[in-house]
C-alpha cells in the first residue's frame, strides 16, 4: 500500500521568501509523484510530476520538486514566494502495479499563506 505524508498542514512565508513544502511517500514499487495546487473554490491543478528520468522536475509558476529515492521524499520549492501562490498544495503518489488504472493517493494538503 502506498501513502503520503505532508509535514505541516499550514506554512506561512513572507513575499519574496523561499517556499518549501515537504512531502514523504511510501510505495512498494517505483512511484510516480505529483504536486497539485488548489485555489479557493476551485478544483485541483497539476503543478508538476515525476515519472522517470531527471529527478529535478520543474513545473508551472516557478515551482520545482526533487525526487530523492533514498529519502523517499518529493519536496516542493520555489525560490521567491508571490502573493498569488497562496493556496493549498497536495502531494500525491501513484504506483505502477495497477492494471489499466492507477490510483492516486493524496496527502492531507498544506495550506500556504504568503504575507506581504
Partner 1 sequence: ETGVTQTPRHLVMGMTNKKSLKCEQHLGHNAMYWYKQSAKKPLELMFVYNFKEQTENNSVPSRFSPECPNSSHLFLHLHTLQPEDSALYLCASSPAGTTNTGELFFGEGSRLTVL
CA distance 23 to 11: 13
Question: Residue 97: which H helix or E strand, with range?
Answer: none
Q: How far is the CB of 6 from partner 1 (least distance, A)?
A: 10
61 binds partner 1 (CB under 8 A): no
User: Taking contact as CB under 8 A, which single stretch among the options 22-30, 53-61, 73-81, 88-96 is the one that binds partner 1?
Assistant: 88-96
CA dihedral 71, 65, 2, 10 (to 10 degrees): 100
Site for partner 1 contains 100 (CB under 8 A): yes
Copy the grid coordinates of residue 44: 485541483
| 10 is an interface residue for partner 1 by CB under 8 A | no
Binding mask 15-44 for partner 1 (x = CB under 8 A): -----------------x-x-x----xxxx
CA distances to 26, 30, 75, 92, 114 from 64, rounded to whole Å, are: 20, 20, 8, 15, 18
Binding of partner 1 by 58 (CB under 8 A): no
Name the residues that contact partner 1, by CB under 8 A.
32, 34, 36, 41-46, 49, 51, 90, 92, 94-95, 100-104, 106-109
Amino acid at each position: 500500500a502506498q501513502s503520503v505524508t505532508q509535514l505541516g498542514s499550514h506554512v506561512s512565508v513572507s513575499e519574496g521568501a523561499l517556499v518549501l513544502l515537504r512531502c514523504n511517500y511510501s510505495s512498494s514499487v517505483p512511484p510516480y509523484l505529483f504536486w497539485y495546487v488548489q485555489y479557493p473554490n476551485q478544483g485541483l491543478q497539476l503543478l508538476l510530476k515525476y515519472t522517470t528520468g531527471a529527478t529535478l522536475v520543474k513545473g508551472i509558476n516557478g515551482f520545482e520538486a526533487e525526487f530523492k529515492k533514498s529519502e523517499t521524499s518529493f519536496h516542493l520549492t520555489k525560490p521567491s514566494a508571490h502573493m498569488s501562490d497562496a493556496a493549498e498544495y497536495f502531494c500525491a503518489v501513484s504506483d505502477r502495479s495497477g492494471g489499466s488504472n492507477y490510483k492516486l493517493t493524496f496527502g492531507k494538503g498544506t495550506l500556504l499563506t504568503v504575507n506581504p
